[in-house]
Amino acid sequence: MAPVSFPPSGDRPPACRIGPDLWYRREPDGTYVIGLTEEAQRRAGRLAQYRGPEPGRTYLRDETVASMESEKWVGHLALPVDGTVVETNPVVETDPGTINRDPYGTGWLYRVRPRTPGLLEAGTEGTG
Amino acid sequence: MSGPVPDGSSPFRPELPVWRRIDLGRCSPLRAQTFVESVAQFVGAGEVPNTLLFARPDSPYVSLGFHQSFAEEVDPQFVARRRIPVIRRVEGGGTTWLDSDQWFYQLVYRDEGAGGPGDLARFLRPVAEAARGLGLTLTVRPPSDLVVGERKISGNAGGDWDGAHILVGGILGRADRQNMADLLRLPHPGIRPIVRAELARWVTSWVDETGHLPEWTAFADAVTTAFGAAGLFGTRSADPSEAEEAHFRRETVARHQATTWRELPPLPRTASSVERRLRVAGPHGILVLAGPGSEERRIAIVDGAVVRAGYALGPSLEAVARPLPRESSELAELATAVRSITGFD
């Protein structure tokens, strides 16, 4: 499994956005690293709790895979594509504030292998 | 486009959006706490208007926040002995004791407000105004409390569910501090009197403040009127739809009765010297830390980032917590230890 390694550079723009809430970056092995956008983390406020998806499990597009909580408000995140979650970020599960501090770096959420290769690019907004 | 229909409680302001007002009245704990989840399904799908609900549970129960762990939070013997149901809500926040002396207001909406913590203050201000009209001055303490002075009288929380935003809150008509403290799982029985004392200090109720309870309907009408007066929405009275009732019976009740829902595994924690973290009310809380000796504990009473008092507790289950003297080196050491820990802000 190729390791995911981002430098902690919170001001670096994401490769692509999926709506206002998520960004993704394609890895050489065809998987995608998914994270929360700067805009979404600001709207959420200071995150205190995060429960991520189950590594190794296959989900359907739009299925809720993660939840987060800030200031007593719970939000949910859906998977943007049919696929298998191959890795989650243990750092954000023990310290959800990492998502606020470095949403495009160490605050990434999970890595997914889409059921159909390349499908994630369809209908997303490229910025990188 | 039609305007709000006057229903005797909502100010007639044709320019305002029209929400449904549903009074569930006194009902089971599960219905009082979770019927909003079924309403959210239909509000989120655009099949029914945004909705304001009122409810009172007809018996006591314990409610867990969405991310909380039953195993970490609740004393299983307490709830088993008393046959108290434990309900995991889909909204955030902490573990709470709820009973028939608390009045719930719940908002389900999808197109007015972005959702998220910012909505809490916006919708809580009218609730505070309603209370003021009934003779009790409440203020909003961000992010989610209503307080009388510094003392909490109402806890509130929110969440996104099935395409809708849900805000749930309740006013304490009376505060059962004994059960609020007794339901908690604590690492040592000597901590419980401290929890009770802190609840007495920081939690109040309508009866504590005024000596009486207003009529339930007067409270619900005042809150409804206040939302209109704040320019947020008018209401028309309604009953739940058949589809909402069916969804509640078929899906919501089933989910909440599943052990897997109630007993979700705890979230992973960073290794820490904090054995137990108890939020009493807003910025006021209790931290239980390992003490200097084997099986000793130190208990920090925290207001925001400030340690107001401290206790030492030995391993014996009969041990009583010993207050750490002011100006003592023991208290200073505890304050230093707590400084590196996130407080209650």
For the cut 50, the answer to whether the pLDDT of residue A128 exceeds it is no
Q: Which residue of A lies nearest to B163 if distances are taken between CA atoms?
A: A76
Residues B254 and B317 in one domain: no
Is residue B100, in this structure, part of any structural domain at all?
yes
Is A16-116 assigned to CATH 2.30.29.30? Answer: no
Residues B114 and B256 in one domain: yes
Tell me what pLDDT residue A21 has.
87
Is residue B10, in this structure, part of any structural domain at all?
no
Q: Is the CB of B124 inside 8 Å of chain A's CB atoms? A: no
Residues B258 and B284 in one domain: no
Q: Which residue of B lies nearest to A47 if distances are taken between CA atoms?
A: B117
Instruction: Judge: A73–B117 Cβ closer than 8 Å, yes or no.
Output: yes
DSSP state letter for B326: T
Residues B308 and B165 in one domain: no
Is residue B191, in this structure, part of any structural domain at all?
no
B287 Cβ contact list (under 8 Å, min separation 6): B274, B276, B277, B278, B299, B300, B302, B338, B341
pLDDT tens string A43-58: 889 999 999 999 999 9
For residue A45, list chain B residues with Cβ-Cβ distance below 8 A.
116-118, 143
SS3 B182: helix
For the cut 60, the answer to whether the pLDDT of residue A120 exceeds it is yes
Is residue B80, in this structure, part of any structural domain at all?
yes
Residues B99 and B221 in one domain: yes
CATH number assigned to the domain comprising residue B30: 3.30.930.10
The closest of B127, B146, B82 to B222, measured between CA atoms, is B127
- Give, for B118, the enclosing helix (H) or strand (E): helix B118-133
B117 Cβ contact list (under 8 Å, min separation 6): A44, A45, A70, A71, A72, A73, B143, B144, B158
CA-to-CA distance for B159 and B103, rounded, in angstroms?
Answer: 19
Note whether A61 and A84 are within 8 A (CB). Answer: no
Instruction: Judge: A72–B270 Cβ closer than 8 Å, yes or no.
Output: no
Residues B245 and B329 in one domain: no
Determine whether B308 is exposed, middle or buried from the number of CB atoms within 10 Å of its CB (0-12, 13-18, 19+). Answer: middle
For residue A72, list chain B residues with Cβ-Cβ distance below 8 A.
65, 91-93, 117, 120, 143-144, 156-158
Q: In Å, how far are B182, B190, B312 from B322, measured between CA atoms? A: 20, 10, 5
For residue A50, list chain B residues with Cβ-Cβ distance below 8 A.
267
Between chain A and chain B, how many beta carbons pairs sit less than 8 Å apart?
A: 74
pLDDT tens string A74-105: 999 999 999 999 999 999 999 999 999 999 99
Determine whether B318 is exposed, middle or buried from the number of CB atoms within 10 Å of its CB (0-12, 13-18, 19+). Answer: exposed
Instruction: Judge: B116–A72 Cβ closer than 8 Å, yes or no.
Output: no
Residues B303 and B323 in one domain: yes
Is residue B1, in this structure, part of any structural domain at all?
no
Which of B225, B240, B262 is the C-terminal boundary of a domain? B262
CA-to-CA distance for B286 and B232, rounded, in angstroms?
Answer: 38
For the cut 90, the answer to whether the pLDDT of residue A127 exceeds it is no
Residues B127 and B221 in one domain: yes
Q: For residue B316, give both structure tokens.
A: 């014996």
Tell me what pLDDT residue B341 has.
80
Q: Which of A71, A92, A94 to probe the B interface (max B CBs under 10 A)?
A: A71
**Under-50 pLDDT residues of chain B:** 1-4, 8
What is the residue extent of each domain of chain A? 16-116
The closest of B123, B173, B129, B161 to B144, measured between CA atoms, is B123
Instruction: Judge: B67–A72 Cβ closer than 8 Å, yes or no.
Output: no
Number of domains in chain B: 2
Is residue B165, in this structure, part of any structural domain at all?
yes
Which of B241, B262, B283 is the C-terminal boundary of a domain? B262
Nearest to A44 among B116, B119, B144 (CB): B116
Residues B256 and B305 in one domain: no
pLDDT tens string A1-59: 333 444 444 455 556 888 888 999 989 899 999 999 998 999 889 999 999 999 999 99
Q: Which of B91, B162, B255, B267 to probe the A interface (max A CBs under 10 A)?
A: B267
pLDDT tens string B164-212: 999 999 999 999 999 999 999 999 999 999 999 999 999 999 999 999 9
Residues B258 and B278 in one domain: no
Structural domain for B248, as ranges: 18-173+213-262
E strands in B67-206? 86-88, 96-98, 102-109, 139-141, 145-148, 151-161, 164-172
Residues B167 and B284 in one domain: no
Residues B65 and B117 in one domain: yes
ipTM: 0.89
